[in-house]
Amino acid sequence: MRPRWTGLAALATGIGIGLTGCGQPPPPAEQVSSGGHAESASQGDPAAKWADGYCGAVTHLVRALANLPSIDPSSSAQATRTSSDLLASVATGIDQTISGLHRVGPAPLPGGEPARTALLGQFTSVRQQADEVRGKLDAAADPNAVKAALDDAKSAIDQISRLDVLKGLDATPALSAAGKRAAGCQQLVVPPAPR
C-alpha cells in the first residue's frame, strides 16, 4: 500500500514556500474521510475491522494536514503567528490520531501490534518536535530567532509529510490483505501509476 502522502509532500513544499515568504500553500486537492463508515462491512472480519480502525485513526492527521491554516508572509510577526497556528493544528491532528490508535487496541494478527506501537512512537516524537518549534516561534523576538524558528517549522512539517503511516500494514501479508479489505485504508492508498 502507498499512502496518499504525495499530495501532503506537495502541501509541505507549499508550506515551505510560504515560510520563506514567497507564497502560501496551495489548497488541498482532496480530503480523506474517516474509515469508521465501513464498520458494518468488516463486522465479521476482525482483521479488516482492526485495519479499518488503524487507518481511520490516521485520517485525523490527514484531515488536519489537508485543512492547514495559511501562512501569512506579509511580515515576520504574521509569519511567526500563522506558523504557530499551523503547528497547533497539526498537533491537534496528531493528538486525535494517537487517541484513535490507542482505541484500536491490540491487533488480531501477528505484526499488527509492532506496527501500531512504532507508529505511536513516531507520532509522539513528531508531536514533541511540533511543540518545541511552537515554543521557539512564540518566543522569537529578533529577526535571526524568527528565521531560525520558521526554518524549524518547515522542517517539522516536512518530517510529518514523510511519515509512511501505512508501512506497518505492509509488514506481513496477512496485515496487507486486511488493509486491502478495509475501506478506511483504501481511502489512503494511491493507485499504482500506469507504466
What is the structure's pLDDT at 95?
Answer: 92
Residue 63: C-alpha distances to residues 38, 67, 144, 187 (Å): 18, 6, 33, 12
Taking only the tens place, the pLDDT of each residue in 99-119 is 998 998 888 888 788 888 888
Q: Among 6-15, 108-117, 127-136, 141-150, which stretch is predicted with the lowest mean pLDDT?
A: 6-15
The three cell numbers locating residue 16? 515551505
Provide mean pLDDT across the span 5-29. 37
In the chain, % of residues over pLDDT 90: 5
* Among 133, 122, 135, CA closest to 58: 122
What is the structure's pLDDT at 190?
Answer: 59
The answer to whether 65 and 11 have CB atoms below 8 angstroms apart is: yes
The three cell numbers locating residue 162? 514523510
Dist CA 137 CA 158 (whole Å): 17
Residue 183 confidence (pLDDT) above 60: yes
Q: Predicted confidence band at 194 (pLDDT cuts at 50, 70, 90)?
A: low
